[in-house]
Chains A and B, each alone.
Chain A
Amino acid sequence: MSEAPRLLFVEGLNKSYGGVHAVRNVSFSVAPGEILALIGPNGAGKTTCFNMLNGQTPADSGRVVLRGQDISGKQPREVWRLGVGRTFQITATYSSMTVRENVQVALISFQSKLFSMLNATQRFANDEADRLLGLVGMEGYAARPCGELAYGDLKRLELAIALANDPKLLLMDEPTAGMAPRERVELMRLTAQIAREKEIGVLFTEHDMDVVFEHADRIIVLNRGAIISEGSPDQVRNDPQVKAVYLGDGLVFGHAEAHA
């Protein structure tokens, strides 16, 4: 497909729920440092795709290969250990802990200290946790109870958590949903910067077309579970099939958000 070394390689993914083909025969790949957007209207199969990549949902058929290793059928926690970080469409954080503690738990897991019982977490990897929070601009929130955070801040916290295991691939399901427009741009700029620096591949789904066309290196368009278009933002923007099937009229592209 491309000359660049592949980080993630997905081949022939299928999933149906009863009679509904949520995902059909989806194949694509992600290169290190590449930012790939997965877009499509509601119900196109984006989240199902995501869930199959990290093992949340078992695929009916198909292969997921991460850095040469077949990870199909592995549990989410095993996939994470192989270097895949993930954020959720609806944030999943530990509401009874502080912001820093949320990151610390991820670091504890990463350093295989989950069964350490006699040390104090308070003194565990504080600097590393604060560095990660600094990366997403949340150093001032470290001691705040996570349950008090605004939704946009929770999204940034999820990014910090996802970076805790030094991932090779980031899966971000609607990373900017629920954020203010300026926050969206900042978060994606930040993600892009981290990805380029550390050669992390990023796969994200998004409804905000501004975000998608500004930050994605490449775009895959899903409709009814199948890939209908793939290429650079310009290619996708001008793909008549995308216009016809997905957008209806091409005017939406570029300016406004597609509230699909």
Chain B
Amino acid sequence: MGFYIVQFLTGLASASALFLVASGLSIIFGVTRIVNFAHGAFYMLGAYVAFTLTERLSGAFGFWGGIVLAALAVAIIGVLVEMLLLRRIYSSPELFQLLATFGLTLMVEDLVVLIWGPDDLLGRRAPGFRGAVEMFGQNVPSYDLFMIVLGPVVLGILWLLFHRTRWGILVRAATQDRDMVAALGVNQKWLFTSVFGAGVFLAALGGALQIPRDAVHHALDLRIIVEVFVVVVIGGLGSITGAFVAAVLVAELNAFGILVFPKISIILVFLVMAVVLIVRPWGLFGKPEAAARKTPGLSVRPWQPLSQNERIAFAVGVVLAALLPLIAGNYALAVGAEIAIFVIFAASLHFLMSVGGLASFGHAAYFGLGAYGVAFLAKIAGLPMIVCLALGPLLGLFGAAIFGFFAIQLSGVYFAMLTLAFAQIVWSIAFQWVPVTGGDNGILSIWPETWAAGPARFYWLSLAVAVAVVGLLRVIVFSPFGYALRGTRDSLLRSESIGIDAKRIQWTAFVIAGTAAGIGGSLFAYLKGSVFPDNIGIGLSVDALVMVLLGGVETVSGAVVGAIVFKALSIWLVSQTDWSKLILGGVIVLIVVAFPKGIVGMIETWRARSDAPSSKSAALAASQPEGAE
């Protein structure tokens, strides 16, 4: 009995840190409507800065002062980020805001390694809370007890702040209706900035307070952000009470889940999240979100199937690509095959995101499932390659069918967070279920059979599959189904009022996109000869998003162009520098702020502009006889 109580107390202690970070995210979202992906990065920065300060400053005051100073310092960084970056993208689509803040996260990950080095850092114990207290025959670290008390205290302070101060009342008003607050003469700019600073302070404080409990390392950011996303999805974005309740719930599920399913404890959290989403899609304390923002100014003109000339150009491109083995060496062909595979991956995400308006932040899950599918079939069942390639993607299909069913119940930022959490769950299973997946060691030596072996043959195989998948997706985009899907993106209200079951359409699209990603993944397993949990990682999901974004979200062929450019660039970059994340993050931020239309979008805009005068009169002239017929 005592053991369970102590386990419960440990859970509560973790819940406090989780609550600090989640409440910060919630406050920021409530007012600015931005889901701050960089929140995990600020948490990590808080921990690193606190580590340095507590090492330098001595004594009890040095420790506690260092913690608070660290949180303040990071909050100032947050304020600068808000003023320099976020102010430019408040009216952008959610996807861009998520991506920009993710770009920041990437940059911070490399920056902390640059400054503090790649090794884990062990911080000081907290003065006054070094020992343990004996309770129920077990030792409970006294610092845990401190954390347990801290959580509710912070909740109380926040409550007072929001109900007893002018600033707090403005924040609550802005959470309900920020346009109204602006109309009443409140300076929105500084309200947003101060709220962002306060949210970042909470995140950094959460990170700083963790140093006596946990080592500081440069992967803390993604670990915490996924947990925090789960917390706010369960509790409801924008609700501090919700963040508190959900943080306790999630932390306790983790604490006891380890006892029930030691290997895959995260499953328990997932099940609870699924139940909450079915019963209350906007979380326990959340409110339904307004419709997602459209992407004004990004669309160029209505999508059209390829014209005759474009078809010829496309065919010539494919033929030229097929001739590559005549001139290129083995390394270039391996790169070429990888690019072809990522074209498939990006096109599958494009289908879901650009056509369906569902920006998945966890699309790598289905890519990785396809790869593991092949690995299981080839290594465990020992099936021939062609069968593995045909059946491997089915694992992606099943995964997409299950997760997609829950994900499409939501939209906008909730959809993004949920897909990310699902991908992280698949990753954890691959990582933790060692007997089946090999864990971190992956599954090795999955080599192609002779007919596809060798760089040239495998390159041709990848190219052929890529052309087939991209072609098929394109056909679907312009099919009745594709239009119905685009309709659910443009106007749900209209779709429902002309008899379209939007959820079924979106679910089907999710399954199609997941299966296509799985096809890419199964080729990838043969290309690399192995599969690892990294094939499911957040990094890969974001690569896909960046490919689509780089090519142009609002274009049909953007994904293909984006994948080719991005993959070629990133392979080159990794070979040139150790700080590829820093550069990649910078590139993402730059695209979002300066080139939101992407490569293809810009080309189309130029084309539209150059033939605008003639096309307008042509359209007018054409409309006359058409009307007369």
* Chain A interface residues toward B at CB < 8 A: 54, 56, 75-78, 80-81, 86, 88, 92-98, 101, 104-106, 108-110, 113-122, 124, 139-147, 161, 164-165
Residue in A81, A121, A143 whose beta carbon sits within 8 Å of that of B480 in the complex: A121
Do B481 and A114 touch across chains, with their CB atoms under 8 A apart?
yes
Residue B176 CB within 8 A of the other chain: no
Contact partners of B622 in chain A: CB under 8 A: 143
Please determine whether B497 and A76 come into contact, CB atoms closer than 8 angstroms. yes
Interface size on B, residues (CB 8 A): 37
Q: Does B142 contact A (CB under 8 A)?
A: no
Contact of B624 with A140 in the complex, beta carbons under 8 Å: yes
Contacts of B302 in A (CB 8 A): 96-98, 101, 145-146
Q: Does B493 contact A (CB under 8 A)?
A: yes
* B305 in the interface (beta carbon within 8 A): yes
User: Which of chain A's residues have a CB closer than 8 A to the CB of B294?
Assistant: 95
A108–B501 alpha-carbon span in the complex (Å): 13
For A164, give the chain B residue with the smallest CB separation: B498
What is the interface of chain B mostly: helix, strand, loop, or mixed?
Answer: helix
Decide if B129 is an interface residue (CB 8 Å cutoff).
Answer: no
Pair B480/A114 contact, Cβ less than 8 Å: yes
Say yes or no for B178: interface residue by CB 8 A criterion. no
CB A73 to nearest CB in B, in angstroms, measures: 15
- In the complex, residue of chain B having the shortest beta-carbon distance to the beta carbon of A114: B484
| A113→B497 CA distance, assembly (Å) | 16
CB atoms of A140 and B623 under 8 A apart: yes
Interface flags, B287-315, vs A, CB<8A=1, else 0: 00000001000010111010000000000
A-facing mask of B476-520, CB < 8 A → 1, else 0?
101111111011011101101111110001001000000000000
Q: Is B475 an interface residue (CB 8 A)?
A: yes
Q: How far is the CA of A78 from the CA of B498 in the complex (A)?
A: 9
Selected from B482, B498, B627, the residue in CB contact (under 8 A) with A109 is B498
Residue contact A165 to B498, C-beta cutoff 8 Å: yes
Contact of A121 with B501 in the complex, beta carbons under 8 Å? no
B486 touches A139 (CB 8 A): no
CB < 8 Å neighbour of A96 from B299, B475, B508, B626: B299
How many Å lie between the Cα of A106 and that of B491 in the bound state? 13
The reply to whether the CB of B619 lies closer than 8 angstroms to some CB of chain A is: yes
**How does the 8 Å CB contact mask read for B79-112 relative to A, with 1 for contact and 0 for none?**
0000000000000000000000000000000000
Q: List 19 A-B contacts (CB under 8 A).
A: A76-B496, A77-B497, A88-B497, A92-B497, A93-B494, A96-B490, A97-B487, A97-B490, A101-B302, A105-B480, A105-B498, A105-B500, A109-B484, A109-B498, A120-B305, A140-B627, A143-B622, A145-B302, A165-B498
Complex-state Cα separation, A185 to B302, whole angstroms: 32
Q: Are A116 and B479 in contact (CB under 8 A)?
A: yes
- Within 8 Å by CB of A165, from B481, B496, B499, B626, lies B499
Does the CB pair A109–B508 fall under 8 Å? no
Given the complex of chains A and B, what is the CA–CA distance between A140 and B301 in angstroms?
A: 18
Q: Complex: how many Å from CA A146 to CA B486?
A: 14
* B475 in contact with A97 (CB, 8 Å): no
**How far is it, in angstroms, between the C-alpha of A145 and the C-alpha of B616 when the chains are bound?**
12
A residues less than 8 Å from B623 (CB atoms): 140-141, 143-144
- A95, B493: Cα distance in complex, Å: 13
* A94 near B496: Cβ-Cβ < 8 Å: no
Interface centre among B479, B491, B498 (most CB of A within 10 A): B498
Contact of B482 among A80, A86, A121 (CB under 8 A): A121
Q: Which residues of B contact A (CB under 8 A)?
A: 294, 299, 301-303, 305, 475-476, 478-484, 486-487, 489-491, 493-494, 496-501, 505, 508, 619, 622-624, 626-627, 629
Other than the given A93-B491, A121-B479, 10 more pairs (CB < 8 A) read A93-B494, A94-B491, A101-B483, A105-B500, A106-B498, A114-B501, A116-B481, A117-B476, A140-B623, A143-B626
A205 to chain B, nearest CB (A): 16
Bound-state Cα–Cα, A34 to B294, Å: 39
Among A96, A106, A117, the most chain B Cβ lie within 10 Å of the Cβ of A96
Complex alpha-carbon distance, A139 and B483, angstroms: 21
Q: Are A142 and B626 in contact (CB under 8 A)?
A: yes
Q: Establish whether residues A75 and B496, one from each chain, have CB atoms under 8 Å apart when the complex forms.
A: yes
Pick the contact of B493 from A81, A88, A97, A106 — CB < 8 Å? A88
Known contacts A77-B501, A80-B499, A164-B498; is-contact A139 B627 (Cβ 8 Å): yes
Task: From B483, B501, B505, give the contact of A97 (CB < 8 A).
Answer: B483
Docked complex Cα distance between A95 and B299 (Å)? 10
Q: A116-B480, A120-B478 are in contact. Are A97 and B486 (CB under 8 A)?
A: yes
Smallest CB-CB separation from A146: which chain B residue? B302
A191 to chain B, nearest CB (A): 17
CA of A80 to CA of B487 in the docked complex: distance in angstroms? 16
CB neighbours of B499 from chain A (8 A):
77-78, 80-81, 109-110, 165
Contact of A77 among B475, B500, B627 (CB under 8 A): B500
Q: What A residues does B482 contact at CB under 8 A?
A: 117, 121
B301 CB, min distance to chain A CBs, angstroms = 6
Closest residue of B by beta carbon distance from A82 = B499
Contacts of A120 in B (CB 8 A): 305, 475, 478-479
- Most chain B CB within 10 A, of A104, A121, A145, A165, is at A121
- Asked if A122 meets B478 with Cβ closer than 8 Å, knowing A92-B491, A109-B484, A145-B302, the reply is yes
Q: Which residues does chain A contribute within 8 Å of B491, judged by CB atoms?
A: 92-95
Q: Please, how many angstroms separate the alpha-carbon atoms of A212 and B494 in the complex?
A: 26
Contact B619 A144, beta carbon cutoff 8 Å = yes
**Cα–Cα distance between A147 and B490 once the two chains are bound (Å):** 11
Distance in angstroms from A11 CB to nearest chain B CB is 23
Docked CA distance A78–B501 (Å): 9
